[in-house]
Chains A and B, each alone.
Chain A
Amino acid sequence: MTKPPALEARGITKAFPGVLANDHVDLRLAQGEIHALLGENGAGKTTLMNILYGLYQQDEGQVFIGGQEVDIHSPNEAIAHGIGMVHQHFMLIPVMTVAENIMLGVEPRTARSRWLGFIGQLDYRRVESRVRELSSQHSLEVDPTALVQTLSVGAQQRVEIMKALYRQARILILDEPTAVLTPQESEELFQIMRSLAERGTSIIFITHKLKEVFAVADRITVMRNGQVVGSTTPEQATEQQLASMMVGREVLLRLSKAPAHPKEAVLSLENLSVNDDRGQKAVREVTLRVRAGEILGIAGVQGNGQTELVEALTGLRPIALGQVRIGEKTLKETSPRQIMEQGVGHIPEDRQKRGLVLRYSVEDNLVLCTYYQRPFAKGLIIQHEAIEENARRLIEEFDIRTPSARTPAGTLSGGNQQKVIVARELSRPIKLLIAAQPTRGLDVGSIEFLHRRLIEQRDAGYAVLLVSAELDEILALSDRIAVMYKGEIIDTLPAEQATREEIGLLMAGVGGHKTSPARQPVEVN
């Protein structure tokens, strides 16, 4: 007799107003298996996981754990059934220690004070020794006394996994766990996953990155539009097949790209230093050049100064030291509007906060940078016909899927919101496009569109500065790659000579020669 599956979902259906998020979804997770759940944003992966974790209730369908049907109404019950979840955005409290985060909700009390109930004394020592025990058992390096806010992202993720293990989870759900990790950290995570699976933990691994599926999964289930479109194994599938299953049509995974023909420098940075909000140096003496007709990719793990660099270049943050030149002009205490008028387009990192006014309509968002100029304004009067006409044209050209031009931008999907921003920036006269994490959180289809668009802009003679934490994106698009680590550009390589491994190591701060004024890297044309 075969063992019953660790977890089985049968015919799970869940409707939200206007959307069928899960439509008769079946999922079978075998004991000790790493099961990848692959799908685009909005495919229903997260809804399914939230049902399994008790955050939502299904409208129809059953869940079985170890062959027994269960009803899960709350995270508490999910935990009691041995389900642990590592959320995409970590559920950790930065100002508390690792031990406090781990014990939260299942706090042990010292023997003397147990009778006091909720106001008994927390037994830190017991938690710490249990964490150390689990730590060595699963080779999961976690220091229980450390403050969470001092930990690296990878270490925080280990704390999240530890939280589940501490609650004796036998089924672990990992929701896009690699989104925030360096390639090396991802590799470490995969090793942890494999060793957990060998010891009998069953793992559901949600992702939309195809490479990772092949690296770690035993079995793959693909979802699209709330339905399971197929289940396969890495041996039987190819990347191309999986991508088509996810999107529902043929997708170009690797865009063909002609060699670049760079011309004059459009953006030059000389020893640029920028401070972060706390007044610490976030960008240290960066010297860079982006030329017309090339894409310069800045690779790096998030939080290494890329955000501050982009903010300084777009006038959102003061320059501490050094020089920025756009074309012939030197920026000095320049407002964002003046920079825009110099011909700089900006696709901001946080599209909802900085890219759009979510409550404004699509058509108004499309003229946010130019509303005060002709033809959108004459004197003090806004010209509505011109704005409508502009919206009609751009919605058509950029294939923005919106019910109408008057729809609030906040109600569109992430991919379409990004298209609104791209349409706005490219519809005005620019010579430099700064794209910060342009495809973050987007699905394969939208990513393909954006990548194609960026290459088209390059070929049309724009200078493109691409900042991305996605190594694949950097490798696919860039003509030159600069790696940023702790605020410094530690190396700049021509794309054709760069390998994943080398860039991955540089992103972790290993190797590289700092770009210094004395020793510029040779620029390859």
Chain B
Amino acid sequence: MDFALIIALMPGVLASALRFATPIAIGAYSGVLCERAAVINIAIEGMMLVAAMVGDLVMLYTGNIWLGVIGGMLASGLLAILHGVLCINFKTDQIISGTVINIFAIGITGFAYRRFLATPTLTRPIPSTLQPIHIPFLAQIPILGDVLFQNRPIVYIMLILTFVLQYVLFKTPWGLRTRAVGEHPLAADTLGIDVYKVRHINVFLGGLVAGLGGVWFSLEQVGHFDMLMTNGKGFIGLAAMIFGKWTPVGSFIAALIFGLPEAIQITMNFYFPHVPYQFLSMIPYVLTMIVLAGVVGQAIPPAADGQPYDKQ
């Protein structure tokens, strides 16, 4: 292999790694928000899928991509409210509730796709994806500029979200209460903290965030909705959350590790077609399994994770 070629390909690979890491990281943040408040959300995948579909639908009917983004996020937030009510108020098994939402998402998006999106009567705006924003001056920095400052909007939002969430979770009253509710809800309750309220708000915010990850697929990456286009990224997001030890910054790094092989695969396909691409496309999923099997250090979840709280 040509060493110079690899060097030349580096910025491109890193930029696309960041791009592929985006939905994974956002999925992980959604998980962090929910699980720090002790609600397990395996429905992130389904929420993303619904958001991707609704986002395309709203864009199609309004002709505005950003309205599509908002519509997708709200749809996902609505599912999160459902998940919250089931898990927090009705104390349904959280895995079951999540599974139900995932199955529902596959059904509803498949239906909507065939009914409205596969052969639309309206035309999508051109372009139908969110366009890259070159940040003045910073985009000119060699390598770093290519990787960080010539991205599409949701990538930037993801980067900002990493630090905002890290700050909110660990430096603010809201974060302290969220973590308290996730670790020892009864203790929080005896100090006058409304456990249900904290959990509901976190799950709803988690839903909005998952929705942002969902519209990345339809409105930033592809330009329209495809069946099952989220392709398990919500689940990989959960693996990244665990890998990142339930912290936003950790999840971001983990998401990059998951995103990198995908970026390499695309480049490899192009320049080294004789290597079977299936091997590289396996890597994120294999990594997920390894992480979830607990090989990468012991990750300790919030103590009350997954347990409903019974108010006296």
Which residues of A are at the interface with B, using a C-beta cutoff of 8 A? 50, 53, 55-56, 74-76, 79, 85, 87, 91-96, 100-101, 103-107, 109, 116, 118-122, 163
Q: Would you call B192 and A122 a contact (CB within 8 A)? A: no
Pull 21 A–B residue pairs with CB atoms less than 8 Å apart, ordered by A. A50-B312, A75-B189, A85-B190, A91-B184, A91-B187, A92-B184, A94-B184, A95-B303, A96-B176, A96-B179, A104-B177, A104-B180, A104-B191, A105-B192, A107-B173, A109-B173, A118-B172, A118-B173, A119-B172, A120-B172, A121-B171
Measured CB to CB, the closest approach of chain B to A231, in angstroms, equals 28
- Tell me, yes or no, whether B305 is within 8 Å of chain A by CB: no
When distances are taken between beta carbons in the complex, the residues of chain A under 8 Å from B173 are: 107, 109, 118-120, 122
Q: Would you call A122 and B171 a contact (CB within 8 A)? A: yes
Bound-state CA distance A163–B187 (Å) is 12
When distances are taken between beta carbons in the complex, the residues of chain A under 8 Å from B172 are: 109, 116, 118-122
When distances are taken between beta carbons in the complex, the residues of chain B under 8 Å from A74 are: 192
Bound-state CA distance A119–B176 (Å) is 10
- Tell me, yes or no, whether B143 is within 8 Å of chain A by CB: no
Q: Would you call B176 and A91 a contact (CB within 8 A)? A: no
Picked from A55, A93, A107, A120, the residue with its CB within 8 Å of the CB of B187 is A93
Q: Would you call A96 and B180 a contact (CB within 8 A)? A: yes
Q: Chain B, 151-179, contact with A by CB distance < 8 Å: what is the 0/1 string?
A: 00000000000000001100111101101
When distances are taken between beta carbons in the complex, the residues of chain B under 8 Å from A92 are: 184, 187
- Tell me, yes or no, whether B82 is within 8 Å of chain A by CB: no
When distances are taken between beta carbons in the complex, the residues of chain B under 8 Å from A56 are: 312
Bound-state CA distance A120–B167 (Å) is 10
When distances are taken between beta carbons in the complex, the residues of chain A under 8 Å from B190 are: 53, 55, 75, 85, 87, 91
A91 with B312, Cβ < 8 A, contacts A119-B174, A120-B172 known: no
When distances are taken between beta carbons in the complex, the residues of chain B under 8 Å from A118 are: 172-174
A104 with B186, Cβ < 8 A, contacts A75-B191, A75-B192, A119-B168 known: no
Bound-state CA distance A119–B164 (Å) is 10
A-B contact count (CB 8 A): 74
- Tell me, yes or no, whether B146 is within 8 Å of chain A by CB: no
Which B-chain residue is minimally distant from A92 (CB atoms)? Answer: B187
Bound-state CA distance A55–B191 (Å) is 11
Q: For chain B residues 177-233, which have a beta carbon within 8 Å of chain A?
A: 177, 179-180, 183-184, 186-193
Q: Can you list the 8 inter-chain pairs with the closest CB atoms, starting with the nearest?
A: A76-B192, A105-B191, A91-B187, A107-B173, A118-B174, A119-B172, A93-B183, A75-B192
When distances are taken between beta carbons in the complex, the residues of chain B under 8 Å from A50 are: 312
Picked from A79, A94, A104, A122, the residue with its CB within 8 Å of the CB of B188 is A104
When distances are taken between beta carbons in the complex, the residues of chain B under 8 Å from A96 are: 176, 179-180, 183
When distances are taken between beta carbons in the complex, the residues of chain B under 8 Å from A87 are: 190
When distances are taken between beta carbons in the complex, the residues of chain A under 8 Å from B187 are: 91-93, 101, 104
Q: Would you call A103 and B192 a contact (CB within 8 A)? A: no
Measured CB to CB, the closest approach of chain A to B66, in angstroms, equals 24
Q: For chain B residues 20-39, which have a beta carbon within 8 Å of chain A?
A: none
Q: Would you call B312 and A105 a contact (CB within 8 A)? A: no
Measured CB to CB, the closest approach of chain A to B61, in angstroms, equals 35
Which A-chain residue is minimally distant from B300 (CB atoms)? Answer: A95
When distances are taken between beta carbons in the complex, the residues of chain A under 8 Å from B186 are: 91
Given A53-B190, A85-B190, A103-B176, 17 more A-B residue pairs with CB atoms under 8 Å apart are A75-B190, A75-B192, A79-B191, A91-B187, A91-B190, A91-B191, A96-B179, A96-B180, A104-B180, A105-B188, A105-B192, A109-B173, A116-B172, A118-B173, A120-B173, A122-B173, A163-B191
When distances are taken between beta carbons in the complex, the residues of chain B under 8 Å from A119 are: 167-168, 172-174
Q: Would you call B176 and A104 a contact (CB within 8 A)? A: yes
Bound-state CA distance A95–B193 (Å) is 18
Measured CB to CB, the closest approach of chain B to A25, in angstroms, equals 19
Bound-state CA distance A101–B187 (Å) is 9
When distances are taken between beta carbons in the complex, the residues of chain B under 8 Å from A122 are: 171-173, 176
Q: Would you call B184 and A93 a contact (CB within 8 A)? A: yes
Q: Chain B, 74-117, contact with A by CB distance < 8 Å: what is the 0/1 string?
A: 00000000000000000000000000000000000000000000
Query: Chain A CB within 10 Å — which of B173, B174, B176, B187 has the most?
Result: B173
Measured CB to CB, the closest approach of chain B to A188, in angstroms, equals 23
Bound-state CA distance A122–B173 (Å) is 6
Which B-chain residue is minimally distant from A55 (CB atoms)? Answer: B312
Measured CB to CB, the closest approach of chain A to B247, in angstroms, equals 13
When distances are taken between beta carbons in the complex, the residues of chain A under 8 Å from B176 are: 96, 100, 103-104, 107, 122
Bound-state CA distance A109–B171 (Å) is 10
Q: Would you call A104 and B312 a contact (CB within 8 A)? A: no
Bound-state CA distance A74–B193 (Å) is 10
Q: Chain B, 293-312, contact with A by CB distance < 8 Å: what is the 0/1 string?
A: 00000000001000000001
When distances are taken between beta carbons in the complex, the residues of chain A under 8 Å from B191 are: 75, 79, 91, 104-106, 163
Picked from A94, A105, A120, the residue with its CB within 8 Å of the CB of B193 is A105
Which A-chain residue is minimally distant from B183 (CB atoms)? Answer: A93
Which A-chain residue is minimally distant from B173 (CB atoms)? Answer: A107
Measured CB to CB, the closest approach of chain A to B130, in angstroms, equals 27
Measured CB to CB, the closest approach of chain A to B297, in angstroms, equals 15
Measured CB to CB, the closest approach of chain B to A197, in angstroms, equals 23
When distances are taken between beta carbons in the complex, the residues of chain A under 8 Å from B312 are: 50, 55-56
Bound-state CA distance A202–B172 (Å) is 34
When distances are taken between beta carbons in the complex, the residues of chain A under 8 Å from B171 are: 121-122
When distances are taken between beta carbons in the complex, the residues of chain B under 8 Å from A105 are: 177, 188, 191-193
Bound-state CA distance A105–B168 (Å) is 16
When distances are taken between beta carbons in the complex, the residues of chain A under 8 Å from B188 are: 104-105
Measured CB to CB, the closest approach of chain A to B284, in angstroms, equals 30
Bound-state CA distance A105–B192 (Å) is 7
Which B-chain residue is minimally distant from A110 (CB atoms)? Answer: B171
Q: For chain B residues 263-291, which have a beta carbon within 8 Å of chain A?
A: none
Measured CB to CB, the closest approach of chain B to A503, in angstroms, equals 33
Query: Chain B CB within 10 Å — which of A100, A119, A163 has the most?
Result: A119
Bound-state CA distance A78–B174 (Å) is 22
Bound-state CA distance A50–B168 (Å) is 33
Which B-chain residue is minimally distant from A78 (CB atoms)? Answer: B192
Which B-chain residue is minimally distant from A105 (CB atoms)? Answer: B191
Bound-state CA distance A95–B180 (Å) is 10
Which B-chain residue is minimally distant from A113 (CB atoms)? Answer: B172
Query: Chain B CB within 10 Å — which of A94, A103, A106, A118 has the most?
Result: A118
Bound-state CA distance A95–B184 (Å) is 10
When distances are taken between beta carbons in the complex, the residues of chain B under 8 Å from A94 are: 183-184, 303
Q: Would you call A95 and B168 a contact (CB within 8 A)? A: no
Bound-state CA distance A56–B168 (Å) is 33
Bound-state CA distance A305–B186 (Å) is 28
When distances are taken between beta carbons in the complex, the residues of chain A under 8 Å from B167 are: 119
Bound-state CA distance A95–B176 (Å) is 12
When distances are taken between beta carbons in the complex, the residues of chain A under 8 Å from B179 are: 93, 96
Which B-chain residue is minimally distant from A54 (CB atoms)? Answer: B192
Measured CB to CB, the closest approach of chain A to B29, in angstroms, equals 16
When distances are taken between beta carbons in the complex, the residues of chain B under 8 Å from A79 are: 191-192
Bound-state CA distance A397–B202 (Å) is 55
Bound-state CA distance A122–B191 (Å) is 17
Measured CB to CB, the closest approach of chain B to A56, in angstroms, equals 7
